[in-house]
């Protein structure tokens, strides 16, 4: 297999200064893509990842921008257009949690989560689609005119008490992605999602950083291990490549079996 299947392509990964986004940015760089490492609050972390990606002999740059803010998203894409002349791969990864029981959830907690996890996906996908459509389908380095990949969650389909804002945002990403895939297919823009299960990152530290918590978490993962950012990065790199050229409008669950109703292994 081609070890740099994304050679010459230009990717933007939102929320790439830590966690899954960092893993995705590294995997795309290793596959030969030039990578924009988008971040919002950690310039040093982003700069370090940029340096390491450049070690693959590809270009990389950090651009700040809050994906929930229209003007910041537009400025980020304009900068990418100026620097690299366009975009081949968008990975909508930026996401956060603001957990609370519904009776205590503030409107701010609701809006923050929907703003980043869903509106951010809309704003970035819109900007990428405009750029990809402008360039058109005559595109020598990939069979598709562009690829958009959303990082969703198992909570696209698994209800999650105490996290109604997060689950609603991911359910929204599922239907946004499919509708967008239908709409952009005539432009030969491929749109898909990767839905991670429990991946060891700062967002869910409480669920894995004590032996007791980890033991409880592993009961929900039939495959018996917590995921790592590179588990997601590899699948995203595959989905962005021509090897996945006929995959369109799909959510691929990368979750060690979390969506298999593990409790039913011994009951029902
Ligand atoms: C959440 C994590 C959680 C995982 C599995 C993810 O989408 O962000 O906090 O551990 O789903 O429940």
Coil, strand or helix at 253 = strand
Indicate whether residue 155 lines ligand 1 (CB < 6 A): yes
Q: Is 150 close to ligand 1, i.e. is its CB under 6 Å away? A: no
Each residue's pLDDT expressed in tens, for the chain with a length of 268 residues: 688 999 999 999 999 999 999 999 999 999 999 999 999 999 999 999 999 999 999 999 999 999 999 999 999 999 999 999 999 999 999 999 999 999 999 999 999 999 999 999 999 999 999 999 999 877 679 999 999 999 999 999 999 999 999 999 999 999 999 999 999 999 999 999 999 999 999 999 999 999 999 999 999 999 999 999 999 999 999 999 999 999 999 999 999 999 999 999 988 8
Q: Find the 52 Cα to ligand 1 centroid distance in Å.
A: 27
Taking CA atoms only, the protein residue closest to ligand 1 atom 10 is: 198
Instruction: Provide the 10 A C-beta neighbour count for residue 186.
Output: 9
pTM of the model: 0.98
Which residue's CA lies nearest to atom 2 of ligand 1?
204
Q: Scan for tokens 């402008």, then name that residue.
A: 134
Q: Which domains does the chain have, with CATH numbers?
A: 10-264 (3.40.50.720)
**Mapping DSSP to helix (H, G, I), strand (E, B) and coil, where does residue 232 land?**
helix
The DSSP annotation for 73-90 comes to HHHHHHHHHHHHS--SEE
Measured from the CB, is residue 197 less than 6 Å from ligand 1? Answer: yes
């Amino acid at each position: 297999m081609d070890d740099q299947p994304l050679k010459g392509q230009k990717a933007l990964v939102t929320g790439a200064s830590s966690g899954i986004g960092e893993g995705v940015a590294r995997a795309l760089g290793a596959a030969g893509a030039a990578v924009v490492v988008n971040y919002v609050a950690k310039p040093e972390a982003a700069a370090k990842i940029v340096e390491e990606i450049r070690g693959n002999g590809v270009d990389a740059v950090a651009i700040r921008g809050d994906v929930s803010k229209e003007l910041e998203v537009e400025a980020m894409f304009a900068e990418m257009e100026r620097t690299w002349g366009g975009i081949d791969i968008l990975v909508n990864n930026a996401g956060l949690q603001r957990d609370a029981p519904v009776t205590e959830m503030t409107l701010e907690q609701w809006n923050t989560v929907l703003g980043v996890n869903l509106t951010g996906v809309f704003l970035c996908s819109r900007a990428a689609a405009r750029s990809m459509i402008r360039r058109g389908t005559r595109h020598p380095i990939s069979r598709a005119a562009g690829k958009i990949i959303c990082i969703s969650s198992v909570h696209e389909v698994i209800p999650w008490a105490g996290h109604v804002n997060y689950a609603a945002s991911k359910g929204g990403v599922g239907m946004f992605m499919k509708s967008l895939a239908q709409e952009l297919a005539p432009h030969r823009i491929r749109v898909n999602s990767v839905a991670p299960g429990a991946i060891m990152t700062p967002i869910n530290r409480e669920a894995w950083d004590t032996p007791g918590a980890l033991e409880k978490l592993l009961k929900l993962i039939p495959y018996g291990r917590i995921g790592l950012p590179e588990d997601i990065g590899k699948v995203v790199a595959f989905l962005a490549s021509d090897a996945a050229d006929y995959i369109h409008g799909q959510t691929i669950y990368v979750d060690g079996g979390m969506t298999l109703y593990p409790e039913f292994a011994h009951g029902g």
